[in-house]
Amino acid sequence: MTVNIALIGAGRIGKVHAKAIATAIPQAKIVAVADYFAAAAEELAEAYNIPFHTDNHLEAIQQPGVDAVLIASSTDTHAPFIIDAAKAGKHIFCEKPIAADLAAIDEALAAVDEAGVQLQIGFNRRFDPTFARVKQAIDDGSIGTPHLLHIISRDPAPPPIEYVKVSGGIFFDMTIHDFDMARFLYGDVEEIYASGAVLVNPAIGEAGDIDTAIITLKFANGAMGTIDNSRQAVYGYDQRVEAFGSKGSASSANHYADAVTISDGQQVRRASLPLNFFLERYDASYKIELQDFVNAIENGTPVPVSGYDGRVPVVMAMAAKKSLDENRPVKLSEIG
């Protein structure tokens, strides 16, 4: 069986998914691509021999033989495009977040349920082999009863100010991955306390956001966690996790372009800095998440990251923002 996919969005992440499907997933094929910018859709179609391209997402969804829709367009389009795909009876893979508004998310999830189709949300870091191995150590009891979780997530450089102004803030466009990772590793979170500052770029503060944050989590299982965010780690993309429990810990280090260490009469040092971009660091994860999506469609099994899994990190981001604004711990039950 070949799973025929209509790709909506021919920008940066759309290109990542197109490449992954063309080079690593033989059971799937992109048969249509749509983008608001017609030239972008045409360029991607030419690059990967996609037979149909358009500037109208509905035309792509309605192409003959389409089994699934991959939504890689701007965030504000995710929820309505999910609804359109569900009404057409297509399975759906959608980049995170579904929306920044819970009512819009719930409307999209209701449409998916009513249509009886599958919806997977693109929290790709769950599929990173390094983090998956930490998860395995937790699940198989290697660390014992979970006590503490520490997630370090720091970008090599802040995004453009124009992006900051429309991103929804650091908790929605950056920490949301870490909120999902916390749930993936330790389960549901009951309470969040967030503190933040503007330490990297004053313009980020002028745009109404922060660039440095510490978030404390209380899990339903009694464990505690911290998330450590910065918009600027001058040495590269800093992505680490430590899970600590009654029997020990499981931790992950950064990824490097090589494994070389240089030793001389003055010092012992690594030969290179950590990988500097998320597309390099998480290249494998994008392929694995799409492979699992295709497998679920082929086998009729549940997708590994559900629409509900896509909703909860948005609630967590809202709780973090409320905590920062009101300088107090916020229970997720306060949000919805």
- 315 phi, psi to nearest 5 deg: -60, -40
Asked whether residue 321 falls in the same domain as residue 258, the answer is yes
- At 1, the pLDDT band (50, 70, 90 cuts) reads confident
46-47-48 Cα angle (round to 5): 95
Asked whether residue 10 falls in the same domain as residue 64, the answer is yes
Asked whether residue 30 falls in the same domain as residue 160, the answer is no
- What's the mean pLDDT in 189-193? 98
- What's the mean pLDDT in 231-259? 96
Asked whether residue 60 falls in the same domain as residue 164, the answer is no
Asked whether residue 204 falls in the same domain as residue 105, the answer is no
Whether the per-residue pLDDT at 194 is higher than 80: the answer is: yes
Alpha-carbon distance 67 to 147, whole Å? 43
pLDDT digits (tens, 9 = 90+) for 22-79: 999 999 999 999 999 999 999 999 999 999 999 999 999 999 999 999 999 998 999 9
Contact (CB, 8 A) for 98 and 307? yes
Res 176: pLDDT: 96
Map residue 318 onto helix, strand or coil.
Answer: helix
Res 84: pLDDT: 98
Res 242: pLDDT: 98
Average per-residue pLDDT for the chain: 96
Contact (CB, 8 A) for 62 and 31? no
Identify whether 290 is part of a domain: no
Amino acid at the residue 263: S
| Residue 268, H or E segment | strand 268-270
Identify whether 85 is part of a domain: yes
Asked whether residue 73 falls in the same domain as residue 177, the answer is no
β-bridge partners, 192: 217, 330
- At 163, the pLDDT band (50, 70, 90 cuts) reads confident
Asked whether residue 106 falls in the same domain as residue 28, the answer is yes
Identify whether 149 is part of a domain: yes
CATH number of the domain where residue 159 is located: 3.30.360.10
Identify whether 294 is part of a domain: no
Res 96: pLDDT: 94
Map residue 70 onto helix, strand or coil.
Answer: strand
Identify whether 308 is part of a domain: no
Asked whether residue 197 falls in the same domain as residue 325, the answer is yes
Count of domains observed in the chain: 2
Residue 168: which residues within 8 A CB-CB, separation 6 or more?
75, 100, 317
Asked whether residue 103 falls in the same domain as residue 155, the answer is no
- At 229, the pLDDT band (50, 70, 90 cuts) reads very high
Res 210: pLDDT: 97
- What's the mean pLDDT in 210-239? 97
* Residue ending a domain, choose from 86, 117, 148: 117
Res 277: pLDDT: 84
Alpha-carbon distance 327 to 9, whole Å? 38
Whether the per-residue pLDDT at 308 is higher than 90: the answer is: yes
pLDDT digits (tens, 9 = 90+) for 275-304: 998 888 999 999 999 999 999 999 999 999
Distances (CA, A) of 118 to 86, 109, 115, 284, 301: 9, 10, 9, 23, 9
Contact (CB, 8 A) for 314 and 180? no
- Maximum separation of any 2 CA atoms in the chain, in Å: 68
Whether the per-residue pLDDT at 167 is higher than 90: the answer is: no
Res 232: pLDDT: 97
Identify whether 198 is part of a domain: yes
Asked whether residue 185 falls in the same domain as residue 92, the answer is no
Domain region containing 45: 3-117
Whether the per-residue pLDDT at 133 is higher than 90: the answer is: yes
In the sheet with 249-252, reading across from the earlier edge strand, the strands are 249-252, 238-245, 146-154, 224-230, 212-219, 189-197, 330-331
* Residue ending a domain, choose from 117, 151, 169: 117
Contact (CB, 8 A) for 305 and 313? no
Res 314: pLDDT: 97
- What's the mean pLDDT in 89-112? 97
Asked whether residue 94 falls in the same domain as residue 141, the answer is no
Whether the per-residue pLDDT at 336 is higher than 80: the answer is: no
Whether the per-residue pLDDT at 10 is higher than 80: the answer is: yes
Identify whether 287 is part of a domain: no
Asked whether residue 145 falls in the same domain as residue 76, the answer is no
- Quote helix, strand, coil % in the chain, to nearest 5: 40, 25, 35
This prediction has a pTM of 0.94
- What's the mean pLDDT in 304-308? 97
CATH number of the domain where residue 77 is located: 3.40.50.720
* Residue ending a domain, choose from 117, 152, 169: 117
Amino acid at the residue 208: G
Percent of the chain at pLDDT > 90 equals 95
Identify whether 305 is part of a domain: no
